[in-house]
């Protein structure tokens, strides 16, 4: 097997014209496709001089609705979520099953990706400092959406004949609607979502990640990798190939174990940088609030900042997209709603904590030196902000970005695959075809510019939130009933806390 794919890669390398022009050609070919897809999905309506993409409105309304409908579960369920993750309510009679902590950690490492480093920089560049405020608001509201989708993910998952489990929006749509006497509609929605996720997995969880990993590597290499995107792409694709097709699970396992530490390491250094910029902190926070409501210098003013903030928040924490419910569905619990509680920590960690920290690193650097990034955006901008204070940091940041990108790609290859197998069954041949396509897009991601990648990724991802949120509206009463019943039993002491 190893021999086979080294040979395949060598052949590919020989076949490719090894010059910078190749990347440009790919770029020229994808840009028009990207803008066409983007135009359809991001159909915009003008609001007070800003352009509001319908799909963003769709997500915001959903998140606000679920927050109110579930009685601010994002605030009221927070403490219980932490108790669950700590294992306070874990049944001591069934050790060895997937715990709440494990399900959360897996989902978080799928969501914490380059979006947390590069996506925030994009938000601040386009939406100004005020976008940060709306990013946090979006994270806060997104916790409720996540609660609903992850509860459903566990409740309606499927136990396969081989003992493994499959869950996620396609399953809750199908089974949930069936329960409500709308089997036909549920089937349609499940299929719609499954198509969306397996195509969508090629953008947010794939091309965007590999693209930004390449950009950061190139920054560290001082531009030595200019025009060599295809090479970096092929190498990355080969490693992903080795894991998802070659079955070299040890690489994935190591990544899973290193990523959480990288995230902590990243936050730690980000806080150090913020503290080193301490004189700029008040002004940076002032800019965030001022920008949020006045939208100074941003196209579309405050609404413009809001739109960008929400867009980037969803891109980072994936609430409303339904992807995380695929990962959360693996937990073993008699109470599906418990996983809902646990999952609301995900947007909190991803957006309210990590994204905000990144935003402050950039914000304080901007106050100190408005031109610190020299026009760079995305991950390169964040890297420049770190470099201002800690000159050697871009190197570990590049390594971290690579790992974040890699773990997100592995998680998304699984999400996409679940969509694929839902549609086409568990056949090995089909799975391999999907995985090959996935690897192809990893390579492609490094060859195109950030702009078109973001357009395609955003468009694909937002496309899936249309069926998902629509489904959530219909199924939310089921979640609410479970939540009320669970809370009543928790209060009455019927559900006991175990002493460990």
- DSSP per residue, 396-422: HHHHHHHHHHHHHHHHHHHHHHHHHHH
Tell whether residue 163 is a contact of another protein (CB under 8 A). Answer: yes
Tell whether residue 334 is a contact of another protein (CB under 8 A). Answer: no
Closest approach of another protein to the CB of residue 361, in Å = 26
Site residues (CB under 8 A) for another protein, limited to 169-208: none
Tokens of 125: 């560049």
The alpha carbon dihedral of 176, 182, 184, 189 has a sign of: negative
Closest approach of another protein to the CB of residue 246, in Å = 14
Among 17, 92, 223, 493, binds another protein (CB under 8 A): 92
Closer by beta carbon to another protein, 100 or else 312: 100
Q: Give SS3 for 189.
A: helix
Angle, vertex CA 252, rays to CA 249 and CA 255, nearest 5 = 150
Tell whether residue 469 is a contact of another protein (CB under 8 A). Answer: no
Closest approach of another protein to the CB of residue 416, in Å = 11
Among 42, 89, 133, 415, binds another protein (CB under 8 A): 415
Among 37, 63, 81, 103, binds another protein (CB under 8 A): 103
Is residue 63 within 8 Å of residue 145, measured between CB atoms?
Answer: yes
Closer by beta carbon to another protein, 180 or else 332: 332
Closest approach of another protein to the CB of residue 111, in Å = 12
The alpha carbon dihedral of 440, 28, 215, 465 has a sign of: negative
Tell whether residue 165 is a contact of another protein (CB under 8 A). Answer: yes
Residue 491's CB: how many other CB atoms inside 10 A?
9
Whole-angstrom distance, CA of residue 460 vs CA of residue 480: 30
* Dihedral over alpha carbons 478, 482, 487, 489 (to 10 degrees): 150
Tell whether residue 396 is a contact of another protein (CB under 8 A). Answer: no
Size of the site for another protein (CB under 8 A): 37
Closer by beta carbon to another protein, 103 or else 483: 103
Instruction: Tell me the window of 32-40, 44-52, 410-418, 476-484 that interacts with another protein (CB under 8 A).
Output: 410-418
Tell me the CA end-to-end span of the chain in Å, nearest whole number: 46
Tell whether residue 161 is a contact of another protein (CB under 8 A). Answer: no
Tokens of 152: 């459903």
Which residue's structure tokens are 């969508």? 200
Q: What is the binding site for another protein (CB under 8 A)?
A: 87, 90, 92, 95-99, 101-103, 105-106, 109-110, 162-166, 249, 252-253, 256-257, 259-260, 326-327, 329-332, 410-411, 414-415
């Amino acid at each position: 097997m190893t021999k086979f794919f080294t040979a395949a890669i060598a052949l590919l390398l020989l076949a490719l014209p090894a010059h910078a022009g190749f990347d440009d050609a790919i770029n020229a070919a994808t840009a028009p496709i990207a803008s066409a897809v983007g135009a359809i999905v991001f159909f915009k309506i003008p609001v007070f001089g800003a352009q509001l993409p319908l799909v963003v409105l769709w997500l915001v309304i959903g998140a606000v609705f679920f927050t109110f409908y579930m009685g601010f579960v994002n605030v009221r369920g927070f403490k219980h979520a932490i108790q669950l993750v700590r294992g306070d309510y874990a049944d001591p009679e069934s050790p060895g099953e997937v715990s709440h902590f494990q399900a959360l950690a897996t989902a978080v490492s799928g969501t914490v990706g380059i979006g947390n480093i590069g996506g925030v920089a994009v938000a601040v560049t386009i939406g100004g400092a005020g976008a940060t405020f709306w990013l946090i608001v979006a994270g806060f509201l997104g916790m409720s959406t996540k609660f609903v989708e992850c509860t459903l993910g566990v409740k309606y998952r499927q136990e396969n004949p081989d003992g493994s489990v499959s869950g996620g929006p396609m399953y809750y749509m199908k089974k949930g609607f069936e329960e409500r006497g709308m089997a036909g509609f549920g089937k349609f929605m499940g299929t719609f979502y499954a198509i969306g996720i397996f195509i969508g997995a090629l953008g947010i969880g794939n091309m965007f990640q590999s693209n930004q990993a390449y950009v950061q590597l190139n920054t560290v290499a001082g531009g030595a990798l200019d025009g060599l995107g295809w090479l970096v792409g092929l190498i990355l694709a080969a490693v992903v190939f080795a894991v998802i097709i070659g079955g070299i699970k040890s690489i994935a396992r190591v990544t899973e174990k290193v990523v959480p530490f990288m995230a902590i390491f990243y936050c730690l250094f980000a806080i150090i940088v913020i503290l080193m910029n301490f004189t700029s902190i008040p002004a940076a926070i002032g800019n965030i609030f001022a920008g949020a409501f006045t939208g100074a210098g941003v196209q579309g003013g405050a609404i413009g900042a809001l739109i960008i903030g929400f867009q980037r928040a969803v891109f980072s924490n994936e609430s409303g997209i339904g992807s995380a419910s695929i990962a959360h569905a693996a937990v073993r619990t008699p109470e599906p709603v418990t996983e809902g509680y646990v999952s609301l920590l995900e947007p909190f960690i991803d957006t309210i904590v990590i994204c905000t920290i990144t935003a402050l690193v950039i914000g304080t650097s901007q106050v100190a030196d408005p031109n610190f990034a020299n026009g760079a955006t995305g991950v390169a901008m964040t890297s420049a902000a770190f470099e201002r204070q800690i000159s050697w940091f871009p190197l570990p940041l590049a390594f971290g970005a690579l790992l974040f990108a890699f773990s997100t790609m592995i998680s998304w290859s699984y999400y996409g695959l679940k969509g694929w197998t839902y549609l086409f069954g568990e056949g090995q041949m089909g799975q391999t075809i999907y995985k090959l396509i996935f690897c192809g897009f990893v390579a492609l991601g490094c060859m195109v510019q950030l702009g078109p990648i973001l357009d395609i990724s955003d468009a694909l991802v937002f496309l899936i939130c249309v069926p998902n949120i629509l489904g959530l509206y219909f199924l939310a009463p089921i979640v609410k009933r479970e939540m009320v019943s669970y809370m009543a039993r928790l209060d009455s002491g019927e559900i006991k806390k175990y002493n460990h």
